[in-house]
Amino acid sequence: MTDHFDSIRHFNQQELPAAIQEIFSDKRVIRVLDQYGYGLSVEELKKQNFNTLYDFQKGALGQFLKNFSDRTTTEVHFSGLENIDPNRSYLYIANHRDIIMDSAYLQLYFFQNNVNSSKIAIGDNLVPEPLFLTIAKANKMFLVKRSASLREKLLNSKELSEYIHQGMTVEKESVWIAQRNGRTKNGIDLTQQGLLKMLTYWDENRDVLDILQEMNITPLTVSYEYEPCDQLKARELALSEKEKYVKKPGEDFNSICQGIFGFKGNVHLVIGQPINDEIAKIDRNLRKNDKLTAVAKLIDQQIYSNYHLYATNYIAYDALEQCQKFAEYYTEKQKEEFLQYIHKQSIIEDVNAEKMENYLLNIYANPVKTKIGGSIIPTEENDW
């Protein structure tokens, strides 16, 4: 690993022992495992031989997250491993609903099948404390720099592009990255054009389609029966109506905890089909931005196709539209229980309950509109 990427890269094998020592010596880690480890303790972890980053990922954080997943989900369904070759590297572009668990479920799927884990992109704003940063870098997480001037953002994007490219071509490691800057708040999953543009910055002299085709882009879809952060998301959307929402210190950490510990019901993760063949069909004579838009739509369409709809989604759609269009997909008992849940989630101090309820229902209803309703919404062009 070259020094050029020191500000964003994850730990290498030589740095891992010191990182493990730091993590297992921290009183907060010891306390959390004692209280919530469900049999997983620092003393037990110290007995294991973590010779590689993969060993540490699977044996420590992987086991910790699995314990919580087992207790916060009804069932987790995985599929799509047959779509990839374990000996090749892939760029998994995923819909983004939860800060940690979206990528964690992919790693858990890999661990179950003895497949090498992927590198994971994470915003540097989400790991502000040294301990969190150490834990992240010991789990193959690399940093996406968020706060910077316009000039710095361009330099950071090029650095990130080069790092992802090197990881895939030189280290032969797959990469997980979200399709957008920040989580989907309203239930509408859209690939930002700026993300795809960033991925091509490492070689601006080549056709963007050729670069993207070489990256084995594979859409990844995760669906939650109950979004653990739905109340937080609805509140943010409501408060953003009149002015830009500014997060308070510790708010991201609260979202991380809620995402890990909050109830999710059923979870469904699908590894899609690599889109190389579809990219090859795109007209090379199009303008650069039009090419990127075409690729983004390919990703979105596959994410929508692989999205798993639950009774919660159908109920929310029918409640908003005041119809019975999808009544065959849920029972009256399920409807009553879910609407009671929505009502409970809508009661907060600083937002009107009716407004909260509307935003909450949209979070669950919008996936129905994109998957079944036929309303494929134009791809966003925000800078990533």
Residue 305 and residue 372 in contact, taking contact as beta carbons nearer than 8 Å: no
Task: Give the 3-state secondary structure percentages of the chain, helix then strand then coil, rounded to 5.
Answer: 55, 10, 35
Query: Phi/psi of residue 318, each to 5°?
Result: -65, -35
Range from 48-62, 218-232, 315-329, 366-380 carrying the lowest mean pLDDT: 366-380
pLDDT of res. 337: 98
Evaluate whether 378 touches 189 at the Cβ level (below 8 Å): no
Q: pTM for the complete prediction?
A: 0.94
Alpha helices in 220-352 (DSSP H): 230-239, 251-261, 276-280, 288-306, 311-321, 332-345
CB atoms within 10 A of CB 336: 11
pLDDT in tens, 314-329: 999 999 999 999 999 9
Predicted local distance difference test score (pLDDT) of residue 377 = 53
- Give the residue-averaged pLDDT of 183-193: 95
Is the pLDDT confidence value at 1 over 80? no
CB 358 within 8 A of CB 342: no
| Unique residue bearing structure tokens 């540490």 | 56
3-309 carries CATH number 3.40.50:
no
Mean pLDDT for the chain overall = 93
pLDDT digit string (tens) for 137-159?
A: 999 999 999 877 788 888 999 99
pLDDT-based confidence at residue 161 (cuts at 50, 70, 90)? very high
Q: Which residue ranges make up each domain of the chain?
A: 3-309, 313-371
Q: What average pLDDT score do residues 299-327 get?
A: 97
Confidence of residue 68 (pLDDT cuts 50, 70, 90): confident
Identify how many contiguous H helices and E strands the chain contains and give both numbers: 17, 7
Helix (H, G, I), strand (E, B) or coil at 118: coil
Average pLDDT over residues 266-282: 98
How far apart are alpha carbons 374 and 372 in whole angstroms?
5
